Chains A and B, each alone.
Chain A
């Protein structure tokens, strides 16, 4: 690729100061230093790009109960929060060492059938509790058509002391397309505080059903 150059042979040695090749080495050294600095800066930028460019991190949409909150492929609206010490789940009475928390909500897709990847409650201490798999929780696990909201109750089992502060419902989503770097869309809906249930209070989940009138109803 390179041609032999008479000057190259001279530069390979150790020319004395003031020799003709000394002037040529200075620019070469400067270029090397410049390239090293650029490489270090690029490396540092790449390492920090997630923090500097938030679009590459999860995008979180915040909302409150009663609002339709859109997070990527899913829309959700919380209609209420109820608690119980016993859960009436399909004819079975489920007791708990903590409390049952039922979040009445509606879900739909945005452009296609969509199902939330995770539904969880975050307590005031930052602990996350996923929707219970002891309960049916069908609403949280079946696909919902675009703008065809279905309502029902998603059930969580929490330690009683988790109700000491405000709760936040977190809806985490997944996108299945070519953009593998697309950030995860998360909806965080402030629920406020939930009152601990009295003993033997039975929580009865609402039946899953289409929301009358749709999102505009």
Chain B
């Protein structure tokens, strides 16, 4: 198999090259890496319970200054530190939601696309039903049923994104499953499982990566919205949406309370969107416009 290895690597490096030439995509990547770095090293620079949770009533409502870069909130907590810890939650949410929806989507989509016939029909009708409910409303119902908290938010958002992935995987598999290399694999005696796993899925990976990146952006927005309406992560946990929700009361006098968490959401979502667009152009130049 060495020849195949070489070919694959060269494809990867040319995709990487195309990505790096896209300035916006590189900007997205830099913002993303910055967020990951801050989320991972937050404990080195800051003290979670001391700075992000504990209340310092003497230092309430301070405007941005050198001591408190983004100012302090209604309990005297440093907004900058809270936003950094919020990045940690948002990234955890983005990755776990996407992991759930991608893996369930692949399983359902692969079964439907590869088996075809009745299995396909039943699975896709169920997906149609889920698609007919706006994902926000579905997530609200699941969160209300399971209760708030990080884990349940992740489950709710993960489930609400499954139909889109399963449709994507299914349509790709249906396109590929009759191509010649799949037939060749079948002739050489590969099992159905092997064919799907080793021959068909690798060919859908590009589309999946792009959709996964965009799903991460959407799940950050969705979790922030759910927390904002009080169905997500409750204070004092420093989640961006719930920070906005508690800051809303005081925004007239202290606009900085709602400005910075919102900007943080915007930059996080922007970085994932830019990376998704960049990856799409890099992995499949035909799709570029």
Q: Do A and B come from the same complex?
A: no
A residues bordering B, Cβ < 8 Å? none
B residues bordering A, Cβ < 8 Å? none
